[in-house]
Structure 1
């Protein structure tokens, strides 16, 4: 007899976080999320100061067979003038009945909040990990990107979900950034200089001031993107503090004109190369050593943030930021890079990535369903 229960104590929360490890233990591309990070985002993250969520576990007898999180994102609805609900942290055995039970439970919780549509997966918003992998199952996910087996697509679509939008991931290897790309980059940089737009590295000694300026750009550069809502100061600072621990200033570039930051690009080391070896995402007793000693062996980066404020787009700043990061990763002898994610209809950015040799190799999808 299958049933779904709300998570209501620490033990159940631990079971919720650990369930994917057991489900995907035989999948060589599965990367465990850090337990402490998952626990924090579900309980103490600044997101909870403006919004709410409820986690659920599905059981078949005494065995956990699925999980889901129902999410009411008040800031999203206020900013976009919508009345949407969300779901995330979705993991399930390959069984439609179980998937339907989980989804209907999340919908029932959201109906009580008077929402008219459910969107996902988001964990717990588009400012964190989001999207269901629908293309590119043959390699592990990059840092802070989602992963799921192919059958999840059928589970959601047979439950009545339709595509809302696709999110694209782009890949470079050692050879894909060619002389033509370098020549294009040089021409674009010369053009920017004539407009007094300079590209510089982040100043870690003034990180607090730099982060405040980046927050302003982030919250304006994405304002027309589907599903976007601005981060609160606390949310941005929370993310910036985490990223600073692994940030290489060579991969954090700012576009500046007359002292004003008008765009930025941030790439971080692909620590998933290490996390994939940390059992159940536990840093203790041995995972911390694997993380510390493995960092020096990381051979890839993910360009995870890139934005240019309105009025400075179409100048080539996006291509220059991407290009300089890719140029730097090659100089450092790294083997691969990913830019993710970009919206499928963001032609300007997608063309800039293609121009410098990016290969669109993974696709993630946000789904929606009227309720």
Structure 2
């Protein structure tokens, strides 16, 4: 028998956060996030998203009282208003046991159904502007930051519990020593648009941090206003998330495109924190803290967090400019970075996939979102 209980108190919170370390410690490609960072992320007093949404966390325990699984259930009011009565599950981790997985998913389904939701989808931790997706291809590769990593058997457990694939996504990677010719082609296409339309491209100004994040939020909200799967995050949530990763947000990696003095597009990249976290095993102990400055200076990869263009300037090639700026990073023009990794590219995102085709980069890792209707 398996019991699923809500997370209450320090002990259950510790069980919730530390379970993956025990489950995946033998997987050489799994990189543990810092437990202290995760503790802040699930704390409603610190993470403003948890004050905007409804969220519950659960752990599963076996008859001996051991924690054998975890899951979250969440409802995003803005998403419900736009897309309908959909609840999310996320933070999904479990031993390879159908009973445990089904008990966790049933608990999440009951929780969202009791609040009026008619469909459960995931994994989303906690929504589609945060970490989401189940890894289905690329288990033999190391993930970059914000790329989830899970055992192969998770997909079978979700299917056995009655969930089906809603949509698929891929991530891509480019390397200076492998993809130079293709990346230079993207740079030239971007430069042509800059010249043709009199555009200006600049980096983020760290001396005006809050104003620059205001601008990024404005551009992100405008560019994702009509997105078919997500709603833009609030300024408060964006501020919390960028503050959490600020030490990896090299200002040179964020590009803002201006037309006539007005910002019309942006791309935000960060140094790949996973290259540092691989040495920590989830704990910021004194040895790790001593090595941290050295490890951070040696980061060679950057990861694309967000790209957006104002809808009213469609047709001016702003997307080409931003693709070219990302390619510059991959080419090594922003030392010490010599590789670029994307987060998720939706299977229906034809524009981004067109750029991937031009670069001739194959998918590096593939993800799926699963879902099922909830009975009345």
Tell me the secondary structure at the aligned position of residue 119 of structure 1.
strand
TM-fit CA distance, 1:112? 1.1
Give the unaligned 5+ runs of structure 1: none
- Normalised by the length of structure 1, the TM-score is 0.94
Tell me which moved more, 192-201 or 20-29: 192-201
- The answer to whether structure 1 residue 18 and structure 2 residue 18 are counterparts is yes
- Aligned counterparts of 1:262 and 1:5: Cα–Cα separation in 2: 47
Tell me the secondary structure at the aligned position of residue 18 of structure 1.
helix
Tell me the secondary structure at the aligned position of residue 104 of structure 2.
helix
TM-fit CA distance, 1:52? 1.5
Tell me the secondary structure at the aligned position of residue 37 of structure 1.
helix
- The answer to whether structure 1 residue 28 and structure 2 residue 31 are counterparts is no
Instruction: Provide closer, same or farther for how the CA distance between residues 184 and 107 of structure 1 changes in structure 2, counting only shifts above 3 A.
Output: closer
- Aligned counterparts of 2:186 and 2:142: Cα–Cα separation in 1: 31
- Alignment: residue pair count: 369
Which residue of structure 2 aligns with residue 112 of structure 1? 114
TM-fit CA distance, 1:361? 1.5
Tell me the alpha carbon deviations over residues 2-42 of structure 1, each in whole angstroms, 9 at most, x when there is no partner.
21111111110011000000000100011112112211221
- Normalised by the length of structure 2, the TM-score is 0.93
TM-fit CA distance, 1:217? 0.8
Tell me the alpha carbon deviations over residues 166-190 of structure 1, each in whole angstroms, 9 at most, x when there is no partner.
1220111223433354245324322
Which residue of structure 2 aligns with residue 6 of structure 1? 6
- The answer to whether structure 1 residue 346 and structure 2 residue 326 are counterparts is no
- Aligned counterparts of 1:50 and 1:180: Cα–Cα separation in 2: 43
- Aligned counterparts of 1:255 and 1:287: Cα–Cα separation in 2: 38
Which residue of structure 2 aligns with residue 168 of structure 1? 170
Tell me the secondary structure at the aligned position of residue 360 of structure 1.
coil
- Aligned counterparts of 1:200 and 1:316: Cα–Cα separation in 2: 16
TM-fit CA distance, 1:292? 2.9
TM-fit CA distance, 1:59? 1.1
- Aligned counterparts of 1:323 and 1:137: Cα–Cα separation in 2: 29
TM-fit CA distance, 1:55? 0.9
Which residue of structure 2 aligns with residue 99 of structure 1? 101
| Contact 2:299–2:336 under 8 Å retained in 1 | no
- Aligned counterparts of 2:342 and 2:182: Cα–Cα separation in 1: 19
Tell me the secondary structure at the aligned position of residue 177 of structure 1.
helix
Which residue of structure 2 aligns with residue 76 of structure 1? 79
| Contact 1:214–1:261 under 8 Å retained in 2 | no
Give runs of aligned pairs for residues 1-371 of structure 1, distance below 5 A. 1-44=1-44, 45-60=47-62, 61-78=64-81, 80-179=82-181, 181-279=183-281, 281-329=282-330, 330-331=332-333, 332=335, 334-371=337-374
Give the unaligned 5+ runs of structure 2: none
